[in-house]
Amino acid sequence: MRIVHKLSDLRRAVAGLRGDGAAVALVPTMGALHAGHMALVEAAQASGAKVVASIFVNPKQFGPTEDLARYPRPAEADTKLLTEHGCDLLWMPGVDEMYPAGFATNVSVSGVSDGLDGAARPGHFDGVATVVAKLFNQVRPDAAYFGEKDFQQLAVIRRMVADLDFGLEIVGVPTVRESDGLALSSRNAYLSADERARAVALPLALTAAKRATEAGERGAIPAAMASLAAAGFAIDYVELVDAATLGEPVPGRPRRLLAAARIGTTRLIDNLPVAASTNV
């Protein structure tokens, strides 16, 4: 796997991958890679495309009191994992390469960025949209792969791609979980053993609330909040939204249950689809 740090080298390397007429798929990440990221790489490979992964810890999507400085950056382990998975090219720009002096543009996707994580992390989705727009223009892929774990992010990117005529396919990949149900996340590395044991309350609370809601029961959201609080989580939100507002008009699963909560200093997010109630 070739690794490039400069935009000029990236352009040449992508042109090389396309040499024999192959399609190119992009997997954008912030590194500290795990099996969730590898599911994106594998889905991209399954399409027959050459795969470009990017690793860039994007300062613009972190709030002033968030974890930019301590975000894990295990470059060697990341490179090894991508090589073992047969990734074709790794784009690893530095902050100065991505945002040279004088950089002054902001991409803001209104509506879909507003609630949930957009409300809890002001400016976050502007930072995501800005860097993802740049990644798309840098790599010019035919398709890009994102995880459903960051469900609102996926919706923001789909909206941006449609609105700005990027002309590439956005593919959402289902969330990869630990055996107890916790969604894989780079930030899980922050959890102490005790916090890790209690963190399973997040997928358990969402699963219980999903089942109760689908059965037509009332009070599922307050019950989920109570079980998260009992496990020691500080809750940012637990919300059931019309999936169409997040760009997922899938027949049979018209709603999405999303949550974000903090355990100690670690903020976790998760979400599940919710089918139409069988009891109304």
Ligand X SMILES: Nc1ncnc2c1ncn2[C@@H]1O[C@H](COP(=O)(O)OP(=O)(O)OP(=O)(O)O)[C@@H](O)[C@H]1O
Ligand Y SMILES: CC(C)(CO)[C@@H](O)C(=O)[O-]
Nearest approach, Cβ of residue 150 and ligand BAL (Å): 5
Site string for ligand Y, 135-154 (x = CB under 6 A): ---------------x--x-
- Residue 210 labelled as part of a binding site: no
28 binds ligand Y (CB under 6 A): yes
**How many residues bind ligand BAL, per CB under 6 A?**
4
When asked if residue 185 is in the footprint of ligand Y (CB under 6 A), the reply is no
Using CB under 6 A, which of 45, 61, 79, 175 touches ligand BAL? Answer: 61
CB 24 within 8 A of CB 18: yes
Q: Which residue has the tokens 């502007």?
A: 126
- Specify the DSSP element, H or E, that contains 197: helix 193-199
Q: Is 132 in the site for ligand Y (CB under 6 A)?
A: yes
User: How far is Cα 128 from Cα 29, in angstroms, rounded to an integer?
Assistant: 11
Query: Cβ-count burial of 200 within 10 angstroms (0-12 exposed, 13-18 middle, 19+ buried)?
Result: middle
Residue 153 annotated as binding site: yes
The response to whether 30 counts as a known ligand-binding position is yes
183 binds, among ligand X, ligand BAL, ligand Y, none (CB under 5 to 8 A by kind): ligand X
Among 30, 116, 205, 221, binds ligand Y (CB under 6 A): 30
Q: Is 138 labelled a binding residue?
A: no
**Residue 95 CB, nearest approach to ligand X (Å):** 16
| Ramachandran region, residue 146 (left: φ > 0; alpha: ψ -120 to 50; beta: rest) | beta
Asked whether position 58 contacts ligand Y by CB under 6 A, the answer is: yes
CB 28 within 8 A of CB 141: no
Strand partners, 7: none
- Interaction of residue 40 with ligand Y, rule CB under 6 A: no
The distance of closest approach from Cβ of residue 43 to ligand X in the complex, given in angstroms and rounded to an integer, is 9
187 labelled binding-site residue: yes
Angle CA 56–60–66, to nearest 5: 95
Site for ligand BAL in 122-181 (CB under 6 A): 150, 153
From residue 206, give the alpha-carbon distance in Å to each of 33, 253, 255.
25, 15, 13
Q: Which is nearer to ligand BAL, 45 or 58 (CB)?
A: 58
Residues in the chain: 280
Near ligand Y by CB under 6 A: residue from 4, 29, 141, 190: 29
User: What are the C-alpha distances in Å from 73 to residues 32, 68, 79, 235?
Assistant: 6, 11, 11, 27
Q: Please name the residue that has the structure tokens 């470009």.
A: 52
For 197, residues 6+ apart whose C-beta sits below 8 A from its C-beta are none
Cα dihedral 11, 16, 20, 24 sign: negative
Mark whether 37 is an active-site residue: yes
Q: Which residues bind ligand X (CB under 6 A)?
A: 29-30, 36-37, 39-40, 146-147, 149-150, 173, 175-176, 183-187
Give the helix/strand (H/E) hosting 259: strand 255-263
50 known member of a binding site: no
The residues of the shown chain that bind ligand Y, judged by CB under 6 A, are: 28-30, 58, 61, 128, 131-132, 150, 153
Residues with a catalytic annotation lie at 37
The residues of the shown chain that bind ligand BAL, judged by CB under 6 A, are: 30, 61, 150, 153
Binding annotation:
30-37, 61, 147-150, 153, 176, 184-187
